[in-house]
Structure 1
Amino acid sequence: MKQIDFVFRTLLAELAQRIAHTPESELDTNGRFVPLSVKGRRYWYFDAAGFRGGKVRKYVGPDEDEAVRQTVTRFKELKEDANARRKIVRMLVREANLPAPDPFAGKIIRSIADAGQFRSNCVLLERYAYQCFAAFLGVQLPMVPWDSNEKAIGFSIRTNADIVALRDILRSADRSFAPETFSGIRQGDVRFVNANGFRIELAAPTLLTAYLVEDSAKSVVLYKSGVEVTIPRPERYAVHELIMSARPVEDDNVLDREHSRMRALAVIEGMLCARRQADLAEAYEAAWTRNDSWKALIERGITLIDDMQRRTRILEGLTQGMKDIGCDPSHVL
């Protein structure tokens, strides 16, 4: 495992800063303003993509209106900035080999971001959060396995009102999204699925999920001109996956637990490579002291790392991290 080249880490920081300072706009930067002259007077229209392809033209106002001219000027600046960010995203994906979502997943994530959900209670989970960790840590993370359904996005939200809001956002992006109910779904989970079988999974608000999304962080999904999202902190994610990897056999199949272990180890080693052992130790200690059953699962998760050299490296990193935060390693390791 190695760190991302300094040049690309600088570009990532610039991209995140540009997005954070981009003013909100109701106009999609993929659209354009079009001037039309009628009887010697100039009028502005805005062309945006239609729901089922094509374009939708909306009247904005006369050119002689100062507010309209200012709107056109501001949009031109936003579009230029979006084009510059799009070039950065392409460079990061093609030259730095950083992961990006497939186009439909990117479209859904962007729709949720544009609706302001990541600024309230929504946290991106699972594979697309993992994709963000490489940029967040500045480390090249390995590809890791997920379940057999590649067409899914996971989120954590807090209230029924958030579920309703998310449903409406999904249906505005794809009208075929509908709630899915079946006997195998975990109690408290909510799923939406579209006509092509693409799933949106909303995690049940369990104690472990609450631990995972506590003190969540901002990151950027490399789609189009970049999308600011909220993700779990990688150290919390790593401990969460370590716990999931040690669940009793009857809870789920062996392959799921092995996949959780592989994801936990990838992120843990990424954090140690980035010299973030103190952050990892804090997340580890927080889970260890919060719940006795978690403590037993963490111990078992460490024990189940069958590569002894790998286990030793991780324990050494955690030991150093505990010392860095002023915690006695013998109390938790």
Structure 2
Amino acid sequence: MVERLPLSAHTSYAELMERLRLGRVSEYPPGSSFVSKTVKGRVYWYVQMPTGGAQSRRQVYVGPDSDDLRERIARHGEHRADHDDRRRLVAAIIASGAPRPDRTSAEIIQALSVAGAFRLRALLVGTVAFQTYAAHLGVRLPVTSLATMDLDIAQDFGIASNLDDTLDRPLLEVLRELDPRFAPVSYAFNASRTTSYALGERYRLDVLTTNRGAPRDEPSYLPTLGSDAVPLPFMDFLLRDPVETAVLHGGGVLVNAPSPPRYAVHKLIVSRDRKVNPEKGLKDRQQATQLIRALAEDDPYALRDAYAEARGRGEAWRKLLDEAVSLLPEDARTVLEG
């Protein structure tokens, strides 16, 4: 049985998302203008800062063309988000039962947002992304599925290679402005490359990307984030068709996260790909089960479409999915196989 958040939480979350989305294109200084560029047949939007000042050095990437983005651009300047009002909305959503991230994760996500990571189409993945689905779907999530001491961000390699924009400063600098003790962690297979950043044994940020071709040990460099990243199998499936969600911190932070159906199916796959770590595999299946139950009521067709797509990726994918599904509670199995 899925336990729902109260209707007031849905209303507050919808208002918060509207304010955050409008705020993303209203945060530029007066006199800014928006221009479109066509790259390989696709249209992308950039904002041109007014001449003079530190921000006039380049155009800033806004996002791929869509009806929603064009509407936001048309309303540029109409809405200046009131931070105090947004804080009240966030507090009301949390009071209704939606989870907030731990303080370290929240501060890192806020800093990444200010530096431009989510504008550049980076995604939160992993448990902190899963936390945002509570308010996004309007459901309560069990505390056992939410504990984490790390943060995963990811970006599609093709996007990172083709965007004509970068973070305001390298990722390590962003982190060290929060805490100068942040240190780069050498990649396991190449000590000269850095794909993770750590606060001793207390906290770790991992940077991930899509795997281009056969399994590989060498990291990929993401120029948008100014960091190396670990290329992982199955990541292209997870990162396709992301959604916007809000991290419940301060006045809210607008982020990108995998679509909940893809997140659920991906968690099933990696739960069996992690045979060396049964505890993490169990947590993966717990998160998948919670989303499957929620989506069974809200969007069963999207869930089954994602499941069918993954099964169509080949025998190796089907084997992992079959193993994972066999370990799910009966109601969750029925949803996927019905």
TM-score, reference length from structure 1: 0.70
Q: Which runs of no fewer than 5 residues in structure 2 stay unpaired? A: 30-76, 209-229
What is the letter of the counterpart of residue 13 of structure 2? L
Distance (whole Å) between structure 2 residues aligned to residue 166 and residue 318 of structure 1: 39
- Deviation of residue 296 (structure 1)? 0.9
Q: 1:314 to 1:271 in 2, by over 3 A?
A: same
- Deviation of residue 248 (structure 1)? 6.5
Q: Does 1:292 align with 2:295?
A: no
Q: Give the counterpart of 2:195 among 190, 194, 219.
A: 190
3-state SS, counterpart of residue 127 of structure 2:
helix
Q: Which runs of no fewer than 5 residues in structure 1 stay unpaired? A: 27-74, 321-333
1:114-133 → structure 2 map (5 Å cutoff): 114-133=114-133
What is the letter of the counterpart of residue 132 of structure 2? C
What is the letter of the counterpart of residue 221 of structure 1? V
CA contact (8 A) 1:156 1:205 kept: no
Residues 149-188 of structure 1 deviation map (CA, whole Å, 9 limit, x = unaligned): x431111133589798322322233222221126499xx9
Q: 1:152 to 1:315 in 2, by over 3 A?
A: closer
1:125-144 → structure 2 map (5 Å cutoff): 125-144=125-144
3-state SS, counterpart of residue 176 of structure 1:
coil
3-state SS, counterpart of residue 224 of structure 1:
coil
- Deviation of residue 25 (structure 1)? 5.0
What is the letter of the counterpart of residue 268 of structure 2? L
3-state SS, counterpart of residue 212 of structure 1:
helix
Distance (whole Å) between structure 1 residues aligned to residue 197 and residue 271 of structure 2: 26
Structure with greater helix percent = 1
Q: Does 1:154 align with 2:152?
A: yes
CA contact (8 A) 2:125 2:153 kept: yes
Distance (whole Å) between structure 1 residues aligned to residue 106 and residue 287 of structure 2: 22
**What residue is the counterpart of 1:257 in the other structure?**
281
Q: Give the counterpart of 2:27 among 24, 28, 33.
A: 24
What is the letter of the counterpart of residue 272 of structure 1? A
3-state SS, counterpart of residue 141 of structure 2:
coil
3-state SS, counterpart of residue 2 of structure 1:
coil
Distance (whole Å) between structure 2 residues aligned to residue 151 and residue 283 of structure 1: 29
Residues 115-171 of structure 1 deviation map (CA, whole Å, 9 limit, x = unaligned): 221121311011210110111111212223478xx4311111335897983223222
CA contact (8 A) 1:237 1:264 kept: yes
1:306-325 → structure 2 map (5 Å cutoff): 310-311=329-330, 313-319=331-337
- Deviation of residue 101 (structure 1)? 1.3
**What residue is the counterpart of 1:50 in the other structure?**
none
Q: Does 1:15 align with 2:33?
A: no
CA contact (8 A) 2:120 2:166 kept: no
Comparing 193-202 and 131-140, the one that deviates more: 193-202
Q: 1:299 to 1:228 in 2, by over 3 A?
A: same
Residues 301-332 of structure 1 deviation map (CA, whole Å, 9 limit, x = unaligned): 11122xxxx32x22432355xxxxxxxxxxxx
**What residue is the counterpart of 2:97 in the other structure?**
97
**What residue is the counterpart of 2:327 in the other structure?**
304
Whose radius of gyration is greater, 1 or 2?
Answer: 1
Comparing 196-205 and 138-147, the one that deviates more: 138-147
Residues 54-98 of structure 1 deviation map (CA, whole Å, 9 limit, x = unaligned): xxxxxxxxxxxxxxxxxxxxx9x957x11001011111112x111
What is the letter of the counterpart of residue 326 of structure 2? T
1:30-69 → structure 2 map (5 Å cutoff): none
Q: 1:168 to 1:189 in 2, by over 3 A?
A: closer
Percent of aligned pairs with the same amino acid: 26
- What RMSD in Å do the two structures reach over aligned CA positions? 2.8
Q: 1:189 to 1:217 in 2, by over 3 A?
A: farther
Residues 245-301 of structure 1 deviation map (CA, whole Å, 9 limit, x = unaligned): 22373xx1222222211111111112113x211110111011111232011111111
Distance (whole Å) between structure 1 residues aligned to residue 131 and residue 114 of structure 2: 20
